[in-house]
């Protein structure tokens, strides 16, 4: 954690993560009340700065802020700055003039939240930057797993898909590893970034092996525009799949090829598609996301009070 910022899971330790998850659990109780609000952040201003559109994540932060009684401002960058190179100092100065208590940043390029945090007095929460990190999404996934499993120690979490381009994979890798789980990444070699095992996960090109004994399975979206010349058949097979960005799979049981033979990666990815979460679970996760983000917002604000 850079000061009071939440730029990624990489810089957190286990106690940070556990504290945030506990806050999320407390807020779950608030969510059941008639008045779904606590006065923690009354009079404080949160700015949602989304350079990359994501109604779901932005709304989730809005709800989180409102549950903590904060004023939430959606600051939409001009359309030109969404396509052109953005002056980071200009952005930071504009925000500073609004005197926010925290700024939530999402950008398609890795590192932009960090650079804004470097230039800004207020704490910054990274709501997803390029293929770098998406810490609040990982906290949501951890929260979901904790609800289902009650623990992290000894769990095996398998993440399947385009790891190279996935910020969710990186943040989850850090989060689950720090919390005591074993993380496996499964993808064709072209979708496994160089040196990924140095981050603490084990990489697999065999989905069968990656799923062997897994307690939790996540399937990442594969974006067509990122395939960069990879085989068209695989491309087509994936393009038919529904587009959820992420999908934690609590409760997945031991997976094996039905006939005991190694399952091809393509076939296994197809198989994973069949294990997709129901709409009901997705909806429940969305509201859990609000709680996880409440935990984050309160965490950042708490740090501010201490610092």
Partner 1 sequence: MASGRIWIRGGRVLDPSTGRDEVADLLVEDGKIAAVGAGLAASGGEVLEAAGAWVVPGFIDLHVHLREPGQEYKEDIASGGRAAVAGGFSAVVCMANTQPANDDPSVTEYILDRARQESPARVYPVGAATRGLAGEVMTEMVALVDAGCVALSDDGKTIMDSGVMRRVFEYSQLARVAIITHAEDRTLVREGVVNEGPVSTRLGLPGNPSIAEVIHVARDLMLAELAGAHLHVAHVSTAGAVDLIRRARERGVHVTAEVTPHHLALTDEATLGYDTNTKMAPPLRSETDMRACRAGLADGTLDAIATDHAPHAVHEKDVEFTAAPPGVIGLETAVPVTLDLVRANELAPLEWVRRLSTNPARIIHRAGGSLAVGAAADIALVDPERRWIYDPAKGFSKSRNSPWAGREMIGCAIATLVGGVLVWDVERGVLLP
Instruction: For partner 1, give the closer residue by CB, 132 or 238.
Output: 132
Closest approach of Cβ 182 to partner 1, in Å? 19
Closest approach of Cβ 263 to partner 1, in Å? 26
Q: In the Cβ-directed half-sphere of 8, how many Cα atoms lie within 13 Å?
A: 19
Select from 26-34, 130-138, 212-220, 278-286 the region that touches partner 1 (CB under 8 A): 130-138
Select from 38-46, 64-72, 127-135, 241-249 the region that touches partner 1 (CB under 8 A): 127-135
Q: At 286, is the secondary structure helix, strand, or coil?
A: helix
How many residues touch partner 1 (CB under 8 A)? 28
Q: In the Cβ-directed half-sphere of 178, how many Cα atoms lie within 13 Å?
A: 20
Among 109, 237, 275, 286, contact with partner 1 (rule: CB under 8 A): 109
Residue 10 binding partner 1, by CB under 8 A: yes
Rounded distance, CA 181 to CA 247, Å? 17
**Can you give the C-alpha Rg of the chain in angstroms?**
19
Among 107, 184, 249, 301, contact with partner 1 (rule: CB under 8 A): 107
- Closest by CA to 170, choosing from 130, 217, 207, 206, is 130
Rounded distance, CA 167 to CA 157, Å? 16
Select from 98-106, 110-118, 267-275, 280-288 the region that touches partner 1 (CB under 8 A): 110-118
Residue 9 binding partner 1, by CB under 8 A: no
Closest approach of Cβ 108 to partner 1, in Å? 8
Select from 40-48, 68-76, 188-196, 288-296 the region that touches partner 1 (CB under 8 A): 188-196
Q: Which of residues 213-252 bind partner 1 (CB under 8 A)?
A: 228
Rounded distance, CA 210 to CA 185, Å? 7
Select from 129-137, 149-157, 180-188, 249-257 the region that touches partner 1 (CB under 8 A): 129-137
- Closest by CA to 247, choosing from 221, 280, 269, 225, is 221
- Extended beta strands in 161-275, E state: 182-186, 202-204, 216-219
Residue 58 binding partner 1, by CB under 8 A: no
Residue 44 binding partner 1, by CB under 8 A: no
Binding site for partner 1 (CB under 8 A): 10, 85-89, 107, 109-112, 114-115, 118, 129-133, 167, 170, 193-196, 198-199, 228
């Amino acid at each position: 954690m850079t000061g009071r910022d939440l730029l990624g899971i990489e810089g957190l330790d286990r106690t940070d993560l556990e504290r945030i998850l506990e806050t999320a659990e407390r807020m779950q109780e608030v969510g059941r009340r008639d008045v779904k609000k606590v006065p923690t952040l009354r009079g404080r201003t949160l700015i949602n700065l989304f350079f990359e559109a994501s109604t779901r994540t932005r709304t989730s932060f809005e709800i989180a802020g409102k549950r903590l009684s904060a004023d939430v401002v959606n600051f939409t960058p001009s359309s030109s700055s969404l396509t052109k190179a953005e002056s980071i100092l200009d952005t930071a100065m504009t925000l500073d003039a609004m005197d926010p208590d925290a700024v939530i940043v999402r950008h398609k390029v890795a590192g932009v939240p960090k650079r804004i945090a470097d230039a800004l007095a207020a704490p910054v929460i990274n709501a997803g930057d390029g293929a770098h990190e998406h810490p609040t999404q990982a906290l949501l996934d951890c929260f979901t797993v904790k609800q289902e499993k009650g623990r992290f120690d000894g769990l095996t979490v398998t993440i399947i898909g385009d790891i190279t381009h996935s910020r969710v994979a990186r943040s989850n890798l850090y989060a689950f590893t720090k919390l005591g789980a074993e993380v496996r990444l499964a993808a064709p070699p072209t979708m496994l970034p160089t040196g990924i095992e140095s981050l603490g996960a084990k990489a697999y090109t065999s989905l069968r092996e990656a799923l062997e004994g897994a307690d939790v399975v996540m399937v990442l979206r594969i974006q067509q525009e990122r395939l960069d010349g990879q085989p068209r058949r695989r491309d087509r097979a994936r393009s038919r799949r529904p587009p959820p960005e992420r999908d934690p799979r609590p409760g997945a049981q031991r997976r094996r090829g039905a006939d005991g033979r190694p399952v091809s990666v393509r076939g296994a990815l197809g198989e994973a598609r069949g294990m997709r979460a129901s709409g009901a679970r997705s909806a429940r996760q969305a509201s859990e996301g609000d709680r996880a983000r409440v935990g984050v917002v309160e965490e950042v604000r708490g740090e501010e009070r201490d610092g």
